[in-house]
Amino acid sequence: MSRDRRETRGLDTSGARDIAVEALRGGREQGRFAQDRLGRLIADRRPSAADAALATELTLGGVRHRLTLDHLISRFLHGRVNRLDSGLLAVLRVGAYQIVWLDRIPAFAAVDSAVEQGKQVAGRRAGGLVNAVLRRLLRHRLDEVLSEPPDQPRRCVRIGVARWRAFDTDLFGDPEADPVGYLSASTSHPAVLVRRWLAHFGRSRTEQICLAGGQRPPLVLRGNRRRIDVQTLLERLSSEGTVAVAAPSGDSVFVAEGPPARQMTAVAEGLCQPQDLTAQAPVVASPPAPGHKVLDLCAGLGTKTTQLAEHMDDRGLVLASDRSAEKVKWIEEACRRMGVSCVQTVLADRLENAAVRHGPFDLALVDVPCSNSGVLARRPAARYRITPSRLKELAAAQRGLLDQAAGFVRPGGRIVYATCSIEPEENEQVVASFLTRVTGWRLVDSRLTLPQVGRRLTDWRDGGFFAAMARS
């Protein structure tokens, strides 16, 4: 063994790979989401910061690009991946992800580690299978990483906004003859989603949706308008070693380089709050005034709750409700951190009495649970759960929540309905149904934002929808 190879082995991060394999395997075998499993594994094993970061990268990469990884594995396995042991498949996914998407760890080290993992999870013969598949993949991989759209897209895997990993053989089908199959396999979005997006949005916008869904999304921080302006926030972040740039909106920043939000002092001190510009838009477009009474019907983690309170200058009332007692505690913690005191929380099963006691309301924000199809970059596993029947179930629940909110709003008041979905069944059709069934309401404003990404950091937008409606 060469000295270089020994030294590379000395830098081995098998702990991170072991965590990633267990997270991906756990998500498949136990019906748990890989991200949740990852969090528990990191909490239990307490790896170094570097290993935790690599384990997170490998796990999220394995989830986000699962269909593409399985397509590549099948291509060089000469068989069907669904016949493999789930642990062995997780090993192959992690190894293939390192070979195709990552550069920091030499490819031969990734193969060697994957072979050992294969032996551990499925025996010595499995190690040989892992070695054969990954070395075939590596044999056809070219050293060249392209920075311009390739002439032969069937031979390239897109590994960034403007980066393509080139191979010397066709990997995918013909994008013109079978656009659904090509986009599904090359961008890891189920065919049922690609097909419906092509029908609703056309080829160009569907390609942009799929491109965004395959990226690592940027961290966007909404400045606390009661405590700090954007320029001061940028200076504060810079003093902490975080590189950020102002958003076009003028009240948020995009983080280019820095620690996770949970490790930022500025976040802990309530000077800012992680929230994409699309998620901010419903409140920005129809803000409450100081002194208003606002109902936040599906408050979740309290991100929009604190945004509402900031627009009200912490004067008036925000009644924030959620079904989960744990989330209600998170809402209260978010309010303490952001320095707002006009928020009262209530569990959803006690909302009726609280709303009657405090209402009627000037504004109701109905930020409903949805398919998350507009934020697949942030919630990569959600793409594998979206089905027509699931959309019907969600739309029925969304209509019920919207109807419920309408009963608590005063004449002349407003409802803002919001989702992080781009599906018509959850957006325009829910609003149209409400306006048809419930008299006395009119549409004031609505906006659908499709996921988008560009070469500039500030080009990023999550997908989502909102509609503002007024009661006569």
Q: Give residue 27's pLDDT band: very low, low, confident or very high (50, 70, 90).
A: low
Segment 443-450 mean pLDDT: 98
| Predicted confidence (pLDDT) at residue 384 exceeds the cutoff of 90 | yes
pLDDT of residue 452: 96
Q: Give residue 10's pLDDT band: very low, low, confident or very high (50, 70, 90).
A: very low
Q: 252 and 221 in contact (C-beta within 8 Å)?
A: yes
The answer to whether position 203 is within a domain reads: no
- The crossing angle, in degrees rounded to 10, of helices 124-140 and 86-101 is 30
pLDDT of residue 125: 87
Return the CATH number at 465: 3.40.50.150
| Predicted confidence (pLDDT) at residue 203 exceeds the cutoff of 70 | yes
Contacts of 380 (CB under 8 A, 6+ apart): 60, 63, 64, 213
In this structure, the answer to whether residues 362 and 299 fall within a common structural domain is yes
The answer to whether position 320 is within a domain reads: yes
Contacts of 195 (CB under 8 A, 6+ apart): 180
pLDDT of residue 31: 45
Domain count of the fold of the chain: 3
pLDDT of residue 39: 86
How far CA 168 is from CA of 137, 141, 144, in Å, comes to: 10, 7, 11
Domain boundary among 229, 256, 275: 275
Q: Give residue 122's pLDDT band: very low, low, confident or very high (50, 70, 90).
A: confident
In this structure, the answer to whether residues 264 and 382 fall within a common structural domain is no
The answer to whether position 148 is within a domain reads: no
| Predicted confidence (pLDDT) at residue 253 exceeds the cutoff of 60 | yes
pLDDT tens figures, 305-355: 999 999 999 999 999 999 999 999 999 999 999 999 999 999 999 999 999
In this structure, the answer to whether residues 323 and 232 fall within a common structural domain is no
In this structure, the answer to whether residues 344 and 365 fall within a common structural domain is yes
| Predicted confidence (pLDDT) at residue 196 exceeds the cutoff of 70 | yes
First to last CA, the chain: 80
3-state secondary structure of 178: coil
pLDDT of residue 277: 97
Write the DSSP string, 105-157: S-HHHHHHHHHHHHHHHH-HHHHHHHHHHHHHHHHHEEEEEESS--S-GGGEE
Range in 32-46, 181-195, 226-240 with the lowest mean pLDDT: 32-46
The answer to whether position 166 is within a domain reads: no
pLDDT tens figures, 126-169: 899 999 999 999 999 998 899 999 999 999 999 999 999 999 99
In this structure, the answer to whether residues 18 and 113 fall within a common structural domain is yes
pLDDT tens figures, 386-414: 999 999 999 999 999 999 999 999 999 99
Structure tokens of 179?
Answer: 């656009």
pLDDT of residue 129: 93
pLDDT of residue 11: 38
pLDDT of residue 13: 53
pLDDT of residue 336: 98
The answer to whether position 33 is within a domain reads: yes
Contacts of 14 (CB under 8 A, 6+ apart): 113, 116, 117
Contacts of 360 (CB under 8 A, 6+ apart): 293, 408, 409, 410, 413
Q: 298 and 366 in contact (C-beta within 8 Å)?
A: yes
Residue 71: count other Cβ atoms within 10 Å of its Cβ. 20
Contacts of 169 (CB under 8 A, 6+ apart): 140, 155
The answer to whether position 186 is within a domain reads: no
pLDDT of residue 28: 52
pLDDT of residue 6: 31
Percent above pLDDT 90 for the chain: 82
Cis peptide preceding 360, ω within 30 of 0: yes
Percent above pLDDT 70 for the chain: 96
In this structure, the answer to whether residues 383 and 439 fall within a common structural domain is yes
Return the CATH number at 245: 3.30.70.1170
pLDDT tens figures, 71-116: 999 999 987 888 888 899 999 999 999 999 998 878 888 899 999 9
Domain boundary among 237, 256, 275: 275
d(CA 369, CA 400): 12
Q: Give residue 34's pLDDT band: very low, low, confident or very high (50, 70, 90).
A: confident
Domain boundary among 125, 142, 159: 142
In this structure, the answer to whether residues 330 and 282 fall within a common structural domain is yes
d(CA 107, CA 467): 49
d(CA 23, CA 39): 9
d(CA 406, CA 394): 19
d(CA 201, CA 209): 10
d(CA 202, CA 195): 10
pLDDT of residue 344: 97
In this structure, the answer to whether residues 247 and 388 fall within a common structural domain is no
The answer to whether position 175 is within a domain reads: no
Return the CATH number at 82: 1.10.940.10
pLDDT tens figures, 352-371: 999 999 989 999 999 999 99
Q: What is the pTM of this model?
A: 0.92
In this structure, the answer to whether residues 354 and 388 fall within a common structural domain is yes
Structure tokens of 157?
Answer: 């895997």
In this structure, the answer to whether residues 303 and 252 fall within a common structural domain is no
Q: Which helix (H) or strand (E) holds 397?
A: helix 388-406
Residue ranges of the alpha helices (H) in 30-123? 34-45, 49-64, 66-77, 86-101, 107-122
In this structure, the answer to whether residues 292 and 318 fall within a common structural domain is yes
Beta bridge partners of 64: none
Domain that holds residue 425: 277-471
Structure tokens of 260?
Answer: 């996770």
Sheet holding 156-160, edge to edge: 141-146, 163-167, 156-160
In this structure, the answer to whether residues 283 and 417 fall within a common structural domain is yes
More confident call, 427 vs 44: 427
Mean residue pLDDT across the chain: 92
The answer to whether position 197 is within a domain reads: no
